[in-house]
Amino acid sequence: MFVQPDLATTLSEIANRGYQTFYTGTIANRIDVDMQKHGGLLRKEDLAMIPEVIEREPVIGTYRDHTIKSLPPPGSGETLLLILSMMELLPPEVFQNDSPEKYKWMAEILHKAFVFYRQNPRNPNTFHQIGEFEKNLREQASQLISKIKDGERLLGRSIGAEQGMGETTHLSVIDREGNAVGLTQSLNLVYGAKVVTEGLGFLYNNYIEAFQYGKPGHYYNLRPGGIPWPCATPTIVFKNDMPWLVLGSPGSQRIFSSMAQFLSLVVDRQLSIDKAMIHPRIHAEQNGELSLEIDRFDHSIIEILEKGGYKIKAREPYSFYMGGIHTALKCQSGSGFQGAADIRRDGAALGT
């Protein structure tokens, strides 16, 4: 049993006095004193300027007759929808076995989507951009698939800050009334900034790393009042207009690639969520580096990917690096629910 009395006291104070105590009250004052004492940057004036909760409409797409709703910018739901749209342009049979052809397509699709993600940051406060993306999603996917067929690699240098290993929590919840919640929260790196204020019981994050640097025209450039560029992609999948599957993952830039592969296994291959969860994964970087849980792949697959120009980065079986999907599903053929937590990370599936 892991007991956190300081955090319990902090949460009790918020419950009794309201969330404002964190931003403008007693907790804010304690943070300010601690920061000044130890050379930190935060001040109570900064906390007081945090805006109220911002609600945004989800980005919406489809995959094989399923409706997908995911996190809009600054999250990465658009990238997940782009990957699925490219996959949907190919016959389902391509993804129904573990052939070299499947992984060649998968690598190219993930690579093209990643390049698109890094080269097309979107301002969430300019709402027409979101609508235009959804309107042209199929067209953009078709253009990228055509580039794959033409052998155009679109290899590019990294743009701005690149996130590596992270410490993110995701939870998925669904109930018999059809309510569904996907929640992703991140400290960024493992244990965040690795410091706490005595008596408060929570870790500070180090999410400034997720900003861009020295790019004044970039929406996610580091500046006063700016917001970071996260990869969080909590997602709800609808079947017959009702929530069917809730999923999300930690893993920084491996989040949308891991989730797309998982969804394909469940939809195209009709695997149960526990079997889809443990299936071997790949991830393509912008520079053409391809991560594989290498001992779990046939040599013929590795060979065809290397011939395709990818630099193979070996990852261990069930690698922490390849995300950690947590999902909940409402059964369609009867009552009840299913849940699964990825063995690549910690977590559990529970029901009541």
Residue 154's domain is classified under what CATH number?
3.60.20
- 213-221: long-range contacts (C-beta < 8 A, 24 or more apart)? 213/160, 213/161, 215/160, 218/121, 218/160, 219/121, 219/122, 219/123, 220/74, 220/121, 220/160
Distances (CA, A) of 317 to 165, 189, 290, 325: 17, 22, 15, 15
- Is residue 170 situated within a structural domain? no
Distances (CA, A) of 38 to 32, 42, 195, 199, 309: 10, 11, 11, 15, 49
Percent of the chain with pLDDT over 90: 64
Show which of 37, 53, 69 is a domain's final residue: 53
Q: Do 69 and 136 belong to one domain?
A: yes
Residue 50 has pLDDT above 70, yes or no: yes
pLDDT the model gives residue 130: 60
Q: Write out the residue range of the structural domain in which residue 11 sits.
A: 1-53
- Is residue 190 situated within a structural domain? no
Q: Do 18 and 44 belong to one domain?
A: yes
pLDDT the model gives residue 171: 94
Residue 159 has pLDDT above 60, yes or no: no
- Is residue 300 situated within a structural domain? yes
Q: Do 40 and 118 belong to one domain?
A: no
pLDDT the model gives residue 78: 93
Distance CA 137, CA 81 (A): 8
Distance CA 136, CA 133 (A): 5
- Is residue 68 situated within a structural domain? yes
Q: Which amino acid is at 229?
A: W
Angle CA 292–293–298, to nearest 5: 85
pLDDT digits (tens, 9 = 90+) for 69-79: 999 988 999 99
Mean pLDDT of the 110-131 span: 78
Distance CA 326, CA 233 (A): 12
pLDDT digits (tens, 9 = 90+) for 87-114: 999 999 999 999 999 999 999 999 999 9
Q: Do 139 and 3 belong to one domain?
A: no
Q: Do 39 and 131 belong to one domain?
A: no
Q: Do 305 and 328 belong to one domain?
A: yes
- Is residue 167 situated within a structural domain? no
Mean pLDDT of the 202-226 span: 86
Residue 58 has pLDDT above 80, yes or no: yes
What number of H helices and E strands is found in the chain? 11, 11
Mean pLDDT of the 222-235 span: 88
pLDDT the model gives residue 184: 92
Q: Do 157 and 271 belong to one domain?
A: yes
Q: Do 302 and 330 belong to one domain?
A: yes
Q: Do 64 and 21 belong to one domain?
A: no
pLDDT digits (tens, 9 = 90+) for 29-46: 999 999 999 999 899 999
Distances (CA, A) of 36 to 45, 49, 193, 202, 264: 13, 18, 16, 18, 50
Residue 120 has pLDDT above 90, yes or no: no
More confident residue, 137 or 339: 339
- Is residue 73 situated within a structural domain? yes
pLDDT the model gives residue 197: 96
Show which of 14, 29, 53 is a domain's final residue: 53
Q: Do 15 and 101 belong to one domain?
A: no
Q: Is 206 exposed, middle or buried (0-12, 13-18, 19+ CB in 10 A)?
A: middle
Mean pLDDT of the 218-231 span: 85
* For residue 74, cis peptide bond before it (omega within 30 degrees of 0): yes
pLDDT digits (tens, 9 = 90+) for 250-309: 988 899 999 999 999 999 999 999 999 999 999 998 888 999 999 999 999 999 999 988
Q: Do 150 and 246 belong to one domain?
A: yes
Please check whether residue 275 is in contact with residue 341, taking contact to mean a CB–CB distance below 8 angstroms.
no
3-class SS of residue 305: helix
What domain count does the chain have?
2
Distance CA 159, CA 161 (A): 7
At a CB cut-off of 8 Å and minimum separation 6, what does 311 contact? 287, 288, 289, 290
Q: Do 134 and 153 belong to one domain?
A: yes
pLDDT level of residue 166 (50, 70, 90 thresholds): low
Show which of 53, 73, 94 is a domain's final residue: 53
Q: Is 38 exposed, middle or buried (0-12, 13-18, 19+ CB in 10 A)?
A: exposed
- Is residue 155 situated within a structural domain? yes
Distances (CA, A) of 83 to 9, 62, 63, 80, 115: 44, 11, 10, 5, 12
